[in-house]
């Protein structure tokens, strides 16, 4: 059961991801979550830092798609100014949106990495679709209503994994 809940990598933020190394390992595309991965769930637009991160991905000739469970209005308002492809109402952790994003980027699952802040949506969905996964610490200490339940369940799973020695990172306070 735990296997699909393990990310391939765990970092504090998207800025700690070594994109050049991923490129060298054959990764050609990034699927990223939006809320609490790129920006706070209640921030409407990309920050300067996120815009630079997008530019770095582009300079490396990698593709990017935002895959979010949020509604079209929210995801479109964020993505359109940055000219980033997106899939809204993704129903993560179902595999369909991850596989669709890979296909629309013209990439094989082995060439794509999923970046997200939640084990039960981003990591589970990415792993089930056969993609590499990177878990990041949420950028905000608060969450939307539905995410709060997932966070409680995540803490239970992370604590069990830690007790069994299956993970080495420490929970952020």
Q: What is the pLDDT of residue 126?
A: 98
Q: What is the CATH number of the domain that holds 9?
A: 3.40.50.1000
Query: Is residue 38 situated within a structural domain?
Result: yes
Domain assignment present for residue 169? The answer is no
Res 173: pLDDT: 40
Q: How far apart are the first and last CA of the chain?
A: 26
Whole-number Cα distances in Å, 141 to 52, 65, 67, 68, 75: 23, 25, 21, 19, 21
Q: Is residue 171 in a domain?
A: no
Q: Domain containing 91: what range?
A: 2-163
Determine, yes or no, domain membership for 170: no
Structure confidence at residue 172 (pLDDT): 44
Question: pTM for the complete prediction?
Answer: 0.86
- pLDDT per residue of the chain (173 residues) written in tens, 0 to 9: 578 888 898 888 999 999 999 999 999 999 999 999 999 988 989 999 999 999 999 999 999 999 999 999 999 999 999 999 999 999 999 999 999 999 999 999 999 999 999 998 999 999 999 999 999 988 876 655 556 666 667 777 777 767 776 566 554 44
The answer as to whether 46 is a domain residue is: yes
User: How many domains is the chain built from?
Assistant: 1
Q: Residue 118, SS3?
A: coil
Residue 173 forms part of a structural domain: no
Residue 131 lies in a domain: yes
Closest by CA to 119, choosing from 163, 170, 156, is: 156
On whether residue 139 sits in a domain, the answer given is yes
């Amino acid at each position: 059961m735990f296997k699909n809940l393990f990310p391939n990598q765990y970092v504090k933020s998207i800025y700690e991801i070594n994109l050049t190394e991923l490129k060298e390992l054959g990764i050609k595309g990034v699927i990223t979550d939006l809320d609490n991965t790129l920006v706070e769930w209640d921030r409407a637009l990309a920050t300067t830092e996120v815009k630079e991160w997008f530019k770095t991905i582009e300079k490396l000739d990698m593709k990017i798609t935002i895959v979010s469970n949020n509604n079209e209005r929210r995801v479109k308002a964020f993505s359109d100014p940055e000219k980033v492809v997106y899939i809204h109402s993704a129903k993560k952790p179902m595999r369909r949106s991850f596989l669709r994003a890979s296909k629309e980027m013209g990439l094989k699952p082995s060439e794509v990495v999923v970046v997200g802040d939640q084990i039960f949506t981003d990591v589970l969905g990415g792993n089930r679709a056969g993609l590499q996964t990177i878990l990041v610490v949420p950028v905000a200490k608060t969450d939307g209503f539905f995410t709060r339940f997932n966070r409680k369940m995540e803490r239970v799973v992370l604590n069990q994994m830690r007790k069994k020695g299956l993970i080495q990172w420490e929970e952020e306070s």
